[in-house]
Amino acid sequence: MLLIVDEIQRHHPGTVVYNADRFEGWSSLENAWHQVFEFNGDLQKICEKHPDGVILLGYSQGGLLARAVLQTYPDHCVKKFISLSSPQAGQYGTDFLHLIFPSLVAKTAYQLFYTYVGQHTSVGNYWNDPHHQDLFEQFSIFLPYINNDLPSTNSTLFRDSMLRLEQLILIGGPDDGVITPWESSHFGYYNGTDDVIPCKQRKIYLEDRIGLRTLDSDGRLKLITVPGVRHYEWHLNTDVVDSVVLPLLD
């Protein structure tokens, strides 16, 4: 994310930018809730310094965790949240798996991730196998709760905190190559026959489980599709950062 920080400061001199550098490298595999609670403390300190509001931007897994951070912070000061190629509806794809778990394939990964041990990994926490939804709901301790697919004592908090946003911007593209399906970056996802159901045709939107439908009806939800961008170009390609990300900060 250092390139994005540099470009923001180059185009917007004087802008205060905080780059959360926790859980880099292999530590990014630590349990998602553990990471969320650590980042939550960081965001609280930032909001105390900037009560008039901030823009929160998260990339890839970081965008999913950032969303959970603001959902668990009832008085957050985030005005605009930008999710940059993040698996907001989950992840299910062998190419992605091989980046971290070379011996796993998508069809059998549930045998690891939907276990007590598998739920100690961040990837396991948002692995969403469309063919084993019963096990997903039984074992997953993270994604079905922050998406309010399963009720919890925090269901109202998770929705209300999303509705504090002035704008929710979801960015992704068909050539990403890592987020699978790429529409997960827009809350779209596979059904049981591996067809992708767009966000606005899924229950999370139709039933307004986390406020997406309300945000949309208020003109506060923006879905951006950018073709021709590979996953690691979103935050490492200056042209992509300047043309896609920076205009959203104005």
Tell me if residue 231 is catalytic: yes
Query: For residue 58, what are the β-bridge partners?
Result: 83
Tell me if residue 243 is catalytic: no
Tell me if residue 129 is catalytic: no
Q: What are phi and psi of 52, to 5 degrees?
A: -75, -10
Rounded CA separation 80/116 (Å)? 35
Rounded CA separation 229/175 (Å)? 6
Rounded CA separation 69/40 (Å)? 5
The encoded tokens of residue 119 equal 């739920």
Rounded CA separation 131/17 (Å)? 41
Q: Do residues 17 and 248 make contact, with C-beta atoms less than 8 angstroms apart? A: no
- The active-site residue out of 60, 83, 85, 86 is 60
Strands 167-172 vs 221-225: parallel, antiparallel or unpaired:
parallel
- The active-site residue out of 161, 176, 184, 185 is 176
The encoded tokens of residue 183 equal 């529409």
- The active-site residue out of 76, 132, 231, 235 is 231
Size of the chain in residues: 250
The encoded tokens of residue 39 equal 């980042």
C-alpha distances in angstroms, 139 versus 94, 118, 156, 203, 223?
Answer: 21, 9, 22, 21, 30
Rounded CA separation 15/50 (Å)? 12
The catalytic residue positions are 60, 176, 231
